[in-house]
A and B are shown apart, each in its own frame.
Chain A
Amino acid sequence: NAGVTQTPKFRVLKTGQSMTLLCAQDMNHEYMYWYRQDPGMGLRLIHYSVGEGTTAKGEVPDGYNVSRLKKQNFLLGLESAAPSQTSVYFCASRPTVTGELFFGEGSRLTVL
């Protein structure tokens, strides 16, 4: 049972490049979330999904897009990366009924 898996773990981009972060969970959870964490800061919610085929905006959605085509996967896309998007990105999931969040180990993104 892998839990929540994020790929890639590390990535360096140049300004203007695009990329996609993949979050996969094998716990059949309905809800999935993408957060970013900047140095010395708390987590900020980017986008979330309450089920397959649904997405919604969080606190800081600008510059990101997401998709939930399959229940187990939640993709976070950066169409044109900017240095301000340099951060550690965390994916999380939870089942519908209980509130416990399960987090991945994070993806460290650097935009030059």
Chain B
Amino acid sequence: DAKTTQPPSMDCAEGRAANLPCNHSTISGNEYVYWYRQIHSQGPQYIIHGLKNNETNEMASLIITEDRKSSTLILPHATLRDTAVYYCIVRPNQGAQKLVFGQGTRLTINP
């Protein structure tokens, strides 16, 4: 699996858009970008994933650069409940066995 690099921490004001970057410069053509988050000490929660097109769901948007070497997770209107550690993972969508989490980004939403 390609390795990812994320900033260790970020802050965002409540109500603003939170933009979380992820670098994955060694990503292969068949590898997807996945985002999970972990609120406090709960089990991680799936957010979104994509291959090369931008994706949006009820939780967030995922913007992947044209060369696919980096991506950005966007929480459009951050709330205090979005304070969490956000993990970016890249791997093939099918047939992948190991799923390896990095250190993630600790996002703090400030009132």
Q: Interface on A for B, CB 8 Å cutoff? A: 4, 31, 33, 35, 41-45, 48, 50, 56, 58-59, 88, 90, 92, 96-106
Tell me, in angstroms, the Cα distance from A105 to B43 when the chains sit together: 5
Q: Give the chain A neighbours of B93 by CB distance below 8 A.
A: 98-99
Q: Give the chain B neighbours of A92 by CB distance below 8 A.
A: 43-44, 99
Tell me, in angstroms, the Cα distance from A98 to B94 when the chains sit together: 7
Known: A41-B103, A42-B87, A42-B104. A101 touches B44 (CB 8 A): yes
How many B residues touch A, CB cutoff 8 Å? 24
Q: How many inter-chain contacts with C-beta < 8 Å in the A-B complex? A: 58
Q: Give the chain B neighbours of A50 by CB distance below 8 A.
A: 97
In this assembly, does B76 line the interface, its C-beta being within 8 Å of a C-beta of chain A? no
